[in-house]
Amino acid sequence: MTGQLTIVDAPSLWYRAFHGVPESITAPDGTPINAVRGFLDLVGRVVRETTPARLVCCLDLDWRPAFRVAAVPSYKSHRLAENGAEAEPDSLAPQVAILLEVLDALGVAVAGVEGYEADDVLGTLATRETDAVDVVTGDRDLFQLVDDSKPVRVLYTVEKMRPYTEGEVAARYGIPGRAYADFAVLRGDPSDGLPGVKGIGEKTAAALVSCFGTIEQIVAALDAGTVDGFPAGARAKLEAGRDYLTAAPAVTRVSCDLPLPVLDDALRATPRDPARLLELSDRWGLESPLNRFLVSVETALSA
């Protein structure tokens, strides 16, 4: 099917929902259900306001892939629990299981690939599409996917679904619109345990990316002995960080060539399994958010 595609960074949204909706919101049996309700309302709002023809929720099937840890061992290390799993609130994982059942009953497409993060699934879907794409996320790393030619834009949940285009990224960071991944290598990102190049701040990182382009082009300029284009003191700092510069792009750049099948991603006028959806609604007290979600779908399909 063709038409506007909305792809959702599902883990980003259910974490945001969990922390944005009080945990006192529970099912009839007392089970916390705040993340499920909040997620349905967030995605419903996006569907209502952007009226896509298609919708996919993308999953982490490996939240800390081995190839990224091998490149930069500190990658997400601050999020590790004692057992090596991802540290998360005790009540969140059971809610994720409930949410996935609800999405299946609704008929909302879900996609994930073993060994990869949701970011990589989003990157693959955005890259292979020929129609317009909205990427819904609270992760700035995905600003690298903006592409005005299709267009692909990022709806940034941290800023109330503010849409980012190439122009918006360029205006905010002073870099070419699609250059966020290389910018992040240089500047670093504490939220992902990415150290950056010691002594290189945001302004210097932006100047380097704007002048040279990719990390590989910056390294090539170092190899060539180029002096022009390097802010004062930056060249020596980059020389000291050569090993990091070689490894870190594997962390910040999303994979865009995963073996994803063709998805049944069309918005559905009616749920795939109405009886199962009613059962889940009654069991978990989801009548109101599900009704709001279904009204949003109806609005999108009638637009």
Neighbour-count burial for 40-50, b at 16+ CB within 10 Å, e otherwise: bbbbbbbbbeb
The rounded distance, in Å, linking the Cα atoms of 163 and 132 is: 13
Q: What percentage of residues in the chain have a pLDDT greater than 90? A: 96
Residue 1: helix, strand or coil by DSSP?
coil
Residue 55: helix, strand or coil by DSSP?
strand
Angle at CA of residue 80, ends 183 and 196, nearest 5°: 20
Q: Which residues pair with 162 in a beta bridge?
A: 156
Confidence at residue 121, expressed as pLDDT on a 0 to 100 scale: 98
Model pLDDT for residues 21-42, shown as the tens digit of each residue: 999 999 999 999 999 999 999 9
For each of the domains in the chain, give its residue range(s) and CATH number, in order of start: 5-175+255-298 (3.40.50.1010), 180-252 (1.10.150.20)
Average pLDDT score, the chain: 96
Q: Which residues pair with 164 in a beta bridge?
A: 154
Q: Determine the angle formed by the axes of helices 10-20 and 92-106, rounding to 10 degrees.
A: 120
Phi, psi of 264 (to 5 degrees): -85, 80
Look up the pTM and report it.
Answer: 0.96
Confidence at residue 23, expressed as pLDDT on a 0 to 100 scale: 95
| Contact present, 35 and 21 (Cβ < 8 Å) | yes
Model pLDDT for residues 241-254, shown as the tens digit of each residue: 999 999 999 999 99
| pLDDT interval class at 303 (50, 70, 90) | confident
Model pLDDT for residues 136-170, shown as the tens digit of each residue: 999 999 999 999 999 999 999 999 999 999 999 99
Report the pLDDT averaged over residues 56-64.
97
**Amino acid, res. 131:** D
| Contact present, 100 and 36 (Cβ < 8 Å) | no
Tell whether the model's pLDDT for residue 117 goes beyond 70: yes
Confidence at residue 2, expressed as pLDDT on a 0 to 100 scale: 80
Q: What is the DSSP letter of 63?
A: S
Tell whether the model's pLDDT for residue 85 goes beyond 90: no
Q: Which residues pair with 5 in a beta bridge?
A: 54, 133
The rounded distance, in Å, linking the Cα atoms of 200 and 248 is: 15
